[in-house]
Structure 1
Amino acid sequence: MKTFDLQRMALNDVPLDFLWEVALRSLYTFILVFLFLKITGRRGVRQMSLFEVLIILTLGSAAGDVAFYHDVPMLPVLIVFVTLGLLYRLVMWLMSHSEKLENLLEGKPSVLIEEGEFAWEKMKSQNMTEFEFFMELRLVGVEHLGQVRLAILETNGQISVYFFPDKLVRPGLPILPEPCCERFIKVPEDADYACIHCSEVVTLNTGDETPCPRCEHKFWVKACTATRVT
């Protein structure tokens, strides 16, 4: 086989006219995926559960094959879409009658913040880094965890945030990027400090090198008390 053969790389053994068929096949699969999304009533991936994303990935695989490979017939792909559409409807019906099945396929919402601090045991079980989590909170205007009464990780990956009123905001862990928040092992002055690992807030005195009583990590940042700007 000749390397860097432009003819092979561009068309391989199919004729140039096959490109018109690729365009038709792509339109065909686009319409099938569009109709499937209309049937499910979803407007975007962020509204989808894990089960629904799995269905879409399976459809995408079938759609890609029929669009690009000349020896993949179009009718069987239609049967794949119809079958998955019926499966989706059946599973939705079963989940509406079985909470256990719904929890298995959709998962459960998880509380990540309670009363201005990480719900530590629940947070450890989630497959999410603190960088992702803090980014999501910053996008809704959170500066520190003391502003947040409750944060819930929904089954579609989005985070629902419920805030304290301004007069009830408490000292909390700042969630700004690291260059914006100086870290200390030995604290420089009397103040409230937040553990950067678990968000526990404690009052420390000048020169203290106390590890966190909650998780035993030793790095602190000054707790923030800013209210939200709305």
Structure 2
Amino acid sequence: MKKEDIQFGDWQRMFLGDVPGGFYWEVVLRIAVIYLVLMVSMRLMGKRMASQLSRNEMIAMVSLAAAIGVPLQAPDRGILAAVVIATVVILIQQIIARVGANNQRLESITQGDLSVLVQDSKLHLPNMKMTGITKEKAFSQLRSNGIRHLGEVKRLYFEADGSFTLIRNREVHPGLGILPEIDAEFTNQSCRASDELVCKRCGQKLAVTDTTCTNCGSSERVNAVE
């Protein structure tokens, strides 16, 4: 379209476009066929496509969306190309899924690995840096599970699919508080300070004589809460 063809107030072009009115009846048929193609594709790619998507499944979904958009809007493009692309996407997805089920290394490469964010009531800072998870993001996730301090946490995993898995300590002990400092009134009601010292940065338990944290090297310390 040339720039001189674009004029403000050309409502027919803005809402109906430059295609004949009969094309919109054709769009109804196109979307019905493509909807069927999508439904069959999702069914063939398995139940996981209806739940939380993995990295490969997200790529497959984006590829299907890109293939389907063009024949829906362009009257000069046929539906067959979208069907061919959907078939190729399904085949690639099925091959990767079957090979990955028997090959742990390939599955790790394509799907990613889980990372330990909290280990034995202290933050695993190198893993957090590698995965891009901030301290506040980890604390937010713990708070959403009813955790008030790190002494309640045995493990916090960041799964390959982007979800979090929490494993609680069987025996709770004092740990670094994770409730927001801005809500001091609730924090004082929910937790009380103990005599134990922990690193303010990672939650490592400290002795009175420790000048720096053996886990992260920080010199900041606070009283653990219980």
TM-score (normalizing by structure 2): 0.79
Q: Say if 2:201 is the partner of 1:200.
A: no
Consecutive unaligned residues of structure 1, counting only runs of 5 or more, are 183-188, 226-230
- The Cα shift of 1:9 comes to 1.8
Q: Say if 2:11 is the partner of 1:6.
A: yes
Counterpart amino acid of residue 6 in structure 1 = W
- The Cα shift of 1:114 comes to 1.0
Find the partner of 1:16 among 10, 13, 21: 21
Tell me the residue number matched to 1:83. Answer: 88
* CA offset digits 1:156-214 (Å, max 9, x no partner): 1111111112xx112222333341259xxxxxx98445444323343669xxxx76554
* CA offset digits 1:34-64 (Å, max 9, x no partner): 3322222125452x22111111111111122
Q: Say if 2:182 is the partner of 1:179.
A: yes
Fraction of identical pairs, as percent: 27
**Counterparts of 2:72 and 2:114, CA distance in 1:** 38
Contact 1:191/1:204 (8 A) holds in 2: no
Contact 2:194/2:225 (8 A) holds in 1: no
Q: 1:38 to 1:12 in 2, by over 3 A?
A: same
> 1:160-171, aligned counterparts within 5 Å?
160-165=165-170, 168-171=171-174
Tell me the residue number matched to 1:31. Answer: 36
**Counterparts of 1:45 and 1:69, CA distance in 2:** 31
Contact 1:181/1:221 (8 A) holds in 2: no
**Counterparts of 2:11 and 2:127, CA distance in 1:** 55
Contact 2:125/2:216 (8 A) holds in 1: no
- The Cα shift of 1:22 comes to 2.9
**Counterparts of 1:23 and 1:144, CA distance in 2:** 56
- The Cα shift of 1:152 comes to 1.2
* CA offset digits 1:7-29 (Å, max 9, x no partner): 22212201334333333333333
TM-score (normalizing by structure 1): 0.78
- The Cα shift of 1:86 comes to 0.9
* CA offset digits 1:112-158 (Å, max 9, x no partner): 11111112222221122333333322222222221111111111111
Contact 2:71/2:77 (8 A) holds in 1: yes
Q: 1:159 to 1:3 in 2, by over 3 A?
A: same
